[in-house]
Structure 1
């Protein structure tokens, strides 16, 4: 280990790659069917995907201002800790790390399943392939920040090219006639259906904050600003463009309820070759998301370790990698992939991550008032309206998750409270020493 400071070796290109790589994935291939089922009108479908991107951009205002001004690693943990104290920061960091750790395992398992579809799994069981993928990505991260960043930039660029290619193939195909059949059969779209569809759309944009975890490693704080907003713009273009292209081939009624609309649309155009093509797109999407996650999740553990004096987690190798935090993340994800507990964490994570979003929005308001002299390379426009709006949106998500699944949501909140009750005294005892 060479110290407890990360290296400032990342640029705006990596920030863009982190957002694109961490956001565009299986969600956009699956969610359009849910949206079309709730709002079966082509114009409204496209409008919802545009609105989703706009909401993500507004929500990003709080994160970008905080990341650029504090310049600390760890994302929400660092922001919430600075605004509301160590216990609140620990709660945000744990919720963020644990919730996303389940996604690491899930992504690895799905990747292994897709290898099987291409008959290139070597006959190995899915759990073994999942662990092997995590191990390979772990080795790439272990080498250093620069090499991991270059791989992420290349992977995200390839992903963008593949999705643009898919959009072009669908857009230039012979389209379905869009007439009255494209609208809701009843002629009425309820408010509840519209809200449910918008929530699904916004959930697909989750990952837009990926660059913020690397605020301490960006050479220029404005790289976070440019990278995040350019990344969100590119993601929005892909999401809207892909939905427009799918609507060129399929009607909303044909999209509704499909678990993989993009594959259905590609099947109309490419026939039997569509399955192979979409599987390749899915594999690239999954591996780039996993790459981003195995970069930013260790930064959360690293930041918490440094803040609470846990020296082993706070160590940084010469290449800039927080190796102990990386190892803990990779081992945790591999174990979850082996035993399947990741599904529980994924079920728990939705309400906790939405609560973290509220805390970040409020932190932006609190720190603007409490630390008015803090140098802010970028300030959110119309302060505090973007933060207030985003806090209301994230609060509505929390309420929706609790109403839809009170048992899981309340269990997640209770589990986090118990975890904090156990960990906080241990950390205080460790600090006393």
Structure 2
């Protein structure tokens, strides 16, 4: 019997669920602290969507050309060098999946505790992670149904929130109009850092590339899942943040990670807001599930290539990589108990932006280096998408290094550890004819 494969719908659901996590429900509070104007903030979310779509085009070309699970680990190993790919995989383990899962679980606990103060916030967060760990040890078909169900719930939640806010809100749409002085925000360093929060909210637009080997007909369905999923989420994000800004008191949201809960209470009243907060909290279930699923697949592919990680290929009776699931879960639980939310977020995004930038630049590199390879999908309007992505992400990385050096140093330390592990693996492996260097 052939192994089970994810449908196009399931792959798209994983992209959407990976994207709609903590960032969209928390970022506007941090943005208002340095950019107290609605129009520049709304443009931030539009820029984030356009940049993410440019990245999705590039990943679609690479993934359709080299359809194997692993995301940046696989793509960068093929495009540049195995060390570059290994570092990307190491980042995926420590920051790309574990840290966002930890942030989402912390937000789940925070939202649920805010609604029912008697519940323990930490226990709720840990409980969610353990439940999702159990789901990921089940058969692929069960995981697919679980993911689809909670993703549909999440999207329905967001659309209901937007429609309800437009229907019942105060309608202070003038807050989104351009104001004198807005132009100065666009070129400021705080705007670049605020864009980091936005790009974190969009993180996950490349999710289908991590599970390419488990998708039906990946050369066709991988690009479709990436592009359709990213486009849909861009529309939802711009609309959702518009209703946050026009419906909630800015002074309460500023610097507060519970922006969506504050907006829900301001628009729908205490009970309606609490109900919306509950739905938002449970909407994070799909995000945690999608990220843990993708992360374990990256770790399994690394185990197939690397002796030091060979145990990550161990599967249970239904084919789930049980040890990879356990390892990422332990890393998640460790991260949940350390660091503040904004520090964790910036640490994540610094590393992920660097990996994504290298992957996008691999498109022109591979076209020059191996022009004869079959490309089932080609980046539209080339070379504009990779140029836009590289320009925006490069600006963000420069601003992060200057403005938040501590988080940047954490990222550098993470890379150093990855380099050490890579060379330990090489030193302990016997050379084989045709083996990867």
Q: Tell me the TM-score range normalised by the shorter chain.
A: 0.7 to 0.9
Counterpart mapping for 1:141-180 below 5 A: 141-179=136-174
2:292 aligns with 294
Deviations 1:6-58 (A, max 9, x none): 94511111122112111113321222234455555544443332232111101
- Return the offset for 1:334: 2.9
Structure 1 residues 282-291 or 341-350, which shifts more? Answer: 341-350
- The secondary structure found in structure 2 opposite 1:311 is helix
1:207 aligns with 2:204: yes
1:15 aligns with 11
Q: What CA distance in whole angstroms lies between the structure 1 residues aligned with 2:28 and 2:339?
A: 28
1:132 aligns with 2:127: yes
Q: What CA distance in whole angstroms lies between the structure 2 residues aligned with 1:427 and 1:35?
A: 44
For residues 316 and 382 of structure 1, do their structure 2 counterparts lie closer, same or farther at Cα, with a shift above 3 Å needed? Answer: farther
- The secondary structure found in structure 2 opposite 1:378 is coil
Deviations 1:239-276 (A, max 9, x none): 11112333443587886555444333322332111442
Deviations 1:120-179 (A, max 9, x none): 97x6x5444433322211111111222112111111110010111111111012524455
Counterpart mapping for 1:273-288 below 5 A: 273-288=271-286
2:369 aligns with 370
- Return the offset for 1:219: 0.6
In the alignment, which of 54, 60, 84 is matched to residue 88 of structure 1? Answer: 84
- Return the offset for 1:79: 0.5
Q: What CA distance in whole angstroms lies between the structure 2 residues aligned with 1:203 and 1:181?
A: 22
Counterpart mapping for 1:41-190 below 5 A: 41-99=37-95, 100-119=97-116, 125-179=120-174, 184=179, 189-190=184-185
For residues 34 and 408 of structure 1, do their structure 2 counterparts lie closer, same or farther at Cα, with a shift above 3 Å needed? Answer: closer
**How many residues are matched?**
426
CA contact (8 A) 1:78 1:89 kept: yes
For residues 112 and 40 of structure 1, do their structure 2 counterparts lie closer, same or farther at Cα, with a shift above 3 Å needed? Answer: closer
- The secondary structure found in structure 2 opposite 1:54 is helix
Q: What CA distance in whole angstroms lies between the structure 1 residues aligned with 2:191 and 2:413?
A: 31
2:23 aligns with 27
For residues 9 and 430 of structure 1, do their structure 2 counterparts lie closer, same or farther at Cα, with a shift above 3 Å needed? Answer: same
- The secondary structure found in structure 2 opposite 1:172 is helix
Counterpart mapping for 1:264-413 below 5 A: 264-309=262-307, 310-317=309-316, 319-337=318-336, 339-340=337-338, 348-413=347-412
Deviations 1:38-85 (A, max 9, x none): 555544443332232111101112211111211111101001111112
Structure 1 gap segments, 5+ residues each:
none
Structure 2 gap segments, 5+ residues each:
433-437
Q: What CA distance in whole angstroms lies between the structure 1 residues aligned with 2:103 and 2:193?
A: 24
CA contact (8 A) 2:86 2:422 kept: no
Deviations 1:361-380 (A, max 9, x none): 12222222333232222111
CA contact (8 A) 2:112 2:278 kept: no
CA contact (8 A) 2:15 2:225 kept: yes
1:241 aligns with 2:235: no
Q: What CA distance in whole angstroms lies between the structure 2 residues aligned with 1:30 and 1:132?
A: 21
CA contact (8 A) 2:153 2:283 kept: no
Deviations 1:177-232 (A, max 9, x none): 45589655767643215444444323321121111111111112221111111111
Deviations 1:380-402 (A, max 9, x none): 12333322332232222221221
For residues 361 and 431 of structure 1, do their structure 2 counterparts lie closer, same or farther at Cα, with a shift above 3 Å needed? Answer: farther
Q: TM-score, normalised by structure 1?
A: 0.87
Q: What CA distance in whole angstroms lies between the structure 2 residues aligned with 1:74 and 1:431?
A: 24
- Return the offset for 1:107: 2.5
CA contact (8 A) 2:140 2:320 kept: yes
1:217 aligns with 214
- Return the offset for 1:360: 0.7
